[in-house]
Structure formats: C-alpha cells, structure tokens
Structure 1
C-alpha cells in the first residue's frame, strides 16, 4: 500500500466529509420527492463540494439544473442522482476496488494525474486516425475534443485541450488525417484520454522539451449534461494545456483517400456497453460506424443527440445510401463528426 503525505491524508478527509454530506443529501431528495430541490439547493451543494476539494462531483451536481429543464426530467434526474450516489459509495469503498476502477473513481471525484505520471505509464504505438473534432464554449474557456482511433489496434483515444475565452484556438489536424505516433493514456478502468508522447525527432536542437502552455482558470459549468464530468475534471484541475503541446502540432498529420475500417452498429454497441460496464460514469465514446444510413433523427437506427438537428450535409453526402460515419456516443444520443463520401474524402460535420 502506498503511503500518503499529510497533505494527501488531509485532502482525503475533506473529500470524504463532502461526499458523506452528498450521500445524505441524495437520500433526502429521494425520500422527500424529486421536485422539491431548487436551483439554489444544487448551487449551494456544488459550492460545498468545491470547498471539500471534490471538483468532479461538484461539476456533476452543477449540471442538475439543465437535466431538470429537459424533457422526461424525472427519470433523467433520478439517473443523475444514482450516478452521484454510486460515485460517493465507490469513493468510500475505493480500497476494495480494482486499481483501474479505483483510479477512475478518484478522477471522477476530482483528483488529478500529472502529465509526467501519464507519460511514465503504458504507451501504445499506432497510426492514429482523427475521427473528428468538437468544440464547446464554456464561460471562461473553450474545450476542444479531438477523437482518435488506432488503425491497427482499433483503440479509441481522446485528446482534450482548453483555450481561454477570446483567444484563438490552436491549429488542429483535420478530420480523416492520420499520423504514426505513440500515445500515453491516463490511468482508468477504460483508458480513453491520452497524450501524444514526445517524439525525439520533434525535440528542439537544445534537447529541451517545449514549455507547457499556461493552463486556463475558471470553474465554468459545461453546457451539455452528457459531457460535463470529463470536462469538469480536467478543467478544474488546471492541468489542461494547448493543443500544440498535446498533439505535437499539425506536422506529420496527413489526409489520405481511403475509407477507414469501421464496425457494425451491433459491434459498436458492444464496445460502448463494455466501456460503461467498466466505468459507469462514461459520458462520451468515439465510434466508427460502417454501412449506416443517416436520417433526420437517427443514424443506423441509433438516435441522434437532441442538439443535432437536420444534418443536411451528412444526408447529402450519403445520398440516402450507406456510408462510413465517425460519431461521438453520449447517453443522450449520437453526435456525428465525420462522414466519408464516395471518393473516400472525409467531410467534417
């Protein structure tokens, strides 16, 4: 067993107290009725969790207002309460969990992993395909998700970066671009977020690594309930950096004329099911679907995210026929990212 420093012990004590209060609060909500909690109650609870140094759990609480404003909110709110309670119980019992799941619980609660620790862990070499890019404007920063898939291993990966509001975004490799690279994954039950390990050939002549970009500040809540935990964990930790550092810039990324290997809807659902079974708090997962026919509200029989309205470009490229589509799975539905046309050209959506 790894010994803790006094500072770590003190933090765990604060987090444990905050999550114990969360458990009691959730029990009261279920006993008294889902409709009795107000926005002020959630806001106050989130602030107390931040004070307890459980920023990830606070981010989950902060999104409850948006959950209740949606359709079919009673079931959705009860599901969110269940995930919060599961997180609090899992943290309390973390010593008995498998190492990967225990690390996932700590990350979801708000503990962070340093860049050096990530790069010192297990690494995967492959030719990585950019499945798509999605930006989200938050109160103080813009979060950028770059979804990757290993062409040999079939392994998914996420490069997550942040840019302060009002600042230009770093240049990003386009959808469909590929590059041979080594990725180092953050430890988790289902490792997904990753860093591109530095390539000696890219190092400056001085032999020193580039200085990291300054991390943005702020504790803004993400606008999409399905996406909040992952973004909140990284943003509140202050560990995020610029895309040029995380991906090594755009040098070496090449867009070809080849439709990537994809999987069926059934295989994709099995992949998602495995991810959620290992990490119940999974809120996003990249998929590469082959032979799917898009519609106005569904893709290959799977519902689209409510924010996706009339994807005319996707439907136009498909011409009503089956196509290969990269999409982001969320509990609320799919977000299409890229489609490959008849000439094997990637078209960003």
Structure 2
C-alpha cells in the first residue's frame, strides 16, 4: 500500500494538467465518488464512467505514464474535466485497485502498438548523404543571409537612430522576414525584439543598440563557425536556429546523474504554441538544468516534473558553451524532499551569471536560487533584499504581494529567472513549505 500511495500524484500535480483555470475548477467539481461508477486503477491507468448530460455515462481513462487521455464526452479540451476529476480521486486514494476492463485494456494496447510502430519508423535507415547535403545547403543560405545582415546593420547604425523612430521598426520587421527566408530564425527573432523596442520608453535607443549589437555579433559568428571553439560553435548554431534532436543529445551529450530538485516552472504561449520551462538543480553536482516541453493550445504540457519535488535520474545536456538545456535519459518518480533547499548569495549568483554571459552573450535568462530574502521598495518598483541590504530588482510585471505575505514573518528562499528586466520569481520556500508563484 505504501508503494502504491507513493506512486500516486499529488492534487497539485493533477491540476497542473488543466488547460485553463476554468477546466481546473470544473475538474474539482467532478472529483466526487458519487459521480462515478466502475472506477478503478491499475499500475498503468485509471478509469471510470461519469454520468453527464447524455443518456449514457462518459467513459474516461487516463494512462498515467504519458499521461494520455480518453473520454467519450464532447469536450475539445485535453484533459477534459472528467479526466481531471478522475485523477483527483486517484490522487486522494479513492480509486480501488482493480483489473483493467476490456475497453481500457484495448485502448492501452492500441497506444502501445502505435508507439512501437513509431519507434520502428524512427529507427528506419535514413539517407545520410541526402541529409548532409540539405544541411550544407541550409548552412550556405544562413551564412549568406548573415553576411547580408551584417552589412545592412553596419550601414544602418552608422546613419544614426533618428530615422528608426520614423518607421525604422517596419524596416526591421522587413529584414527579419528576409532572415526567415534565409532559414536563420534566430537572427529574425533578434531583429523582431529590436523592432519592438523602437519608440518605447525614454531609453529605447539604448535598448535598441543592445539588441542590434547581439544580432550583429551572432551574424558575424555565423560566418566564422569553422574558426570558433567547438562549444561556442554549438552555441552559435543553436542561437541561429539549428536544432539538435533528442536522439543526438542522448547519443553524445554530457550525462549527469543526480537527485534533481525541480526549482520552478513557467508557462508561455507564442505563435499558437504553448511552452513550459522547467528549471532543476542537482543536489550533489549543483548543476542547473532546463527541461523544455511544448504543446498546441488546448493540449496539456508535460507535468511530470512538479516544482518543489526531487527527481532521481540522469540528465543529458545539449551541447553549448553554457550547457543548460537537458533531457532525461531515465528517471524515477518525483518525491517530496525532506527539507527545503539552501540558496546562494546575490554576489555568488551574479558572479555565476557573469561567467555564463561571457561564454554565451545571447543568454536572456539565468536561473538563481537565493536565500534570506524579503521584498522591499526599490525606486518606483520592488526588489528582493537580503539580510545585508543588498537588493536585486523585480521585473516590472511581477506582483510583489504574494512574496510580501510569505516573507512577513521571516526571510524566504526564492527560485527565479534573472533577466535584463529583473528577477522573475518562480517558487518560494518558507516555514510551511514551497509555494509556486
């Protein structure tokens, strides 16, 4: 019974699957045993029938390893409220251990067969010569586009920024489109960020120059890839937009086994694609790691790494001058830690960031774990201050009030992203445990 309880998810982890707040609320409403019949759980799934507005109950099943969801209700949301309610019942230990009914077993077997077919397709022999030719053709287009951009930037900046305010943003967007045609999305994104700063705030020329400088350095590096150190060349390729598959990473990436504390996660949506950045820190190695997951709107993001939990496993890092992004090769189920983490000081965190920035000047965020903090006023905004009075500003969009409440009695430990805009807190550890911000 103890092992079974340990394998169940927490209610918080279940609700992280909800595609929106309304679904989470509706899911809680379905977490009542009286609403379900034939409900049960096995080592790989939970299932049940929930009476809805139709004549026949909705058949709902969840494969917990995926997770994957099946429900006969007409909802277009994944997971639907019935799947969330069923998982909440399971998390509370209210589903009996049962043999899988036929319809659940058939669904699970069909999923397993599809996965096996997909793996066989992935393992099929590839035309390596054709792939190498396509890669060379793309590299030629990227370097040509980068050379053109470098010349344009030199001419444009030497002419001064006065004309940028009178339509320069449109010109930047046009050049960004040309970089997309050159298959250099990293350069295009940098130009779009630069365009977004034009005319916004009194210091927009400074921010524009900073963005264009990074774009110029990246364009210059694109034309000198062969002369760069291997790790820096990997970073430049990544920043330009060349992808590295998980299979390549697992084959040749740096492996770090550890007990990984999930320090925080943050969700964003851009261009109809939802993403989740999950930050981890190794308890023995002290390494920081970033695990990314993506999902289209309405689909759940990966919730298998709940903040505040510890995951034992081996992370494999993507190549680069500052390896942060990683993927698990194998891992165990998340477990609650015995105590909260011990963070570093401002000075130590900033020194680490400076060293990372020297190796990868395009870093736009850096994970920090800081202890002994309280929110404090900082000019027109807010900051996190330590016991010595040192402070780092919070990003303008951050709401300081949750931190003010949590740190009312004593200083707290905070996991955050350090960005050019300031600190973006993700999680907070206080006397009563961890709170996701």
TM-score range for the pair, normalised by the shorter chain length: 0.7 to 0.9
1:5 is paired with a residue whose SS is helix
TM-score (norm 2): 0.64
Report the counterpart of residue 436 of structure 2 in structure 1. 348
Report the counterpart of residue 116 of structure 1 in structure 2. 247
Does residue 1:8 correspond to 2:135, yes or no? Answer: yes
Pairing partner for 1:168 from 291, 294, 300: 300
Pairing partner for 1:298 from 379, 383, 402: 383
Report the counterpart of residue 208 of structure 2 in structure 1. 77
Which whole-Å CA distance do the structure 2 matches of 1:320 and 1:302 have between them?
A: 21
Structure 1 residue 36, shift from structure 2 partner = 2.0
Q: Is the 8 A contact 1:338 1:346 kept in 2?
A: yes
Does residue 1:144 correspond to 2:276, yes or no? Answer: yes
Which whole-Å CA distance do the structure 2 matches of 1:56 and 1:183 have between them?
A: 26
Q: Is the 8 A contact 1:294 1:320 kept in 2?
A: no
1:198 is paired with a residue whose SS is strand
Give matches, 1:1-349, under 5 Å: 5-37=132-164, 38-71=168-201, 72-120=203-251, 121-198=253-330, 252-296=333-377, 297-300=382-385, 301-309=391-399, 311-319=400-408, 321-343=410-432, 345-349=433-437
2:305 is paired with a residue whose SS is coil
Which whole-Å CA distance do the structure 1 matches of 2:329 and 2:302 have between them?
A: 18
Unmatched tracts of structure 2, length 5 or more: 1-128, 386-390
2:339 is paired with a residue whose SS is coil
Unmatched tracts of structure 1, length 5 or more: 200-250
Which whole-Å CA distance do the structure 2 matches of 1:294 and 1:324 have between them?
A: 12
Which whole-Å CA distance do the structure 2 matches of 1:35 and 1:106 have between them?
A: 33
Which whole-Å CA distance do the structure 1 matches of 2:365 and 2:151 have between them?
A: 29
Deviations 1:261-282 (A, max 9, x none): 2111110001101110110001
Q: 1:73 to 1:253 in 2, by over 3 A?
A: same
Report the counterpart of residue 212 of structure 1 in structure 2. none
Structure 1 residue 298, shift from structure 2 partner = 0.8
Structure 1 residue 5, shift from structure 2 partner = 3.2
Root mean square deviation of aligned Cα: 1.8
Q: Is the 8 A contact 1:293 1:320 kept in 2?
A: no
Deviations 1:157-183 (A, max 9, x none): 001111112323333433211111100
Aligned length: 294
Structure 1 residue 304, shift from structure 2 partner = 1.1
Which whole-Å CA distance do the structure 2 matches of 1:172 and 1:138 have between them?
A: 22
Structure 1 residue 114, shift from structure 2 partner = 1.3
TM-score (norm 1): 0.80
Larger Rg: 2
Structure 1 residue 41, shift from structure 2 partner = 1.1
Name which structure has the greater RCO, CA cutoff 8 Å, separation 6+.
1
2:175 is paired with a residue whose SS is helix
Q: Is the 8 A contact 1:290 1:324 kept in 2?
A: yes
Q: Is the 8 A contact 2:169 2:198 kept in 1?
A: no
Which whole-Å CA distance do the structure 1 matches of 2:330 and 2:283 have between them?
A: 20
Deviations 1:128-153 (A, max 9, x none): 11111101121311111001111111
Which whole-Å CA distance do the structure 2 matches of 1:279 and 1:98 have between them?
A: 12
Which whole-Å CA distance do the structure 2 matches of 1:140 and 1:69 have between them?
A: 27
Runs of 4+ in structure 1 over 4 Å off: none
Which whole-Å CA distance do the structure 2 matches of 1:178 and 1:9 have between them?
A: 42
**Greater shift after overlay, 292-301 or 144-153?**
292-301
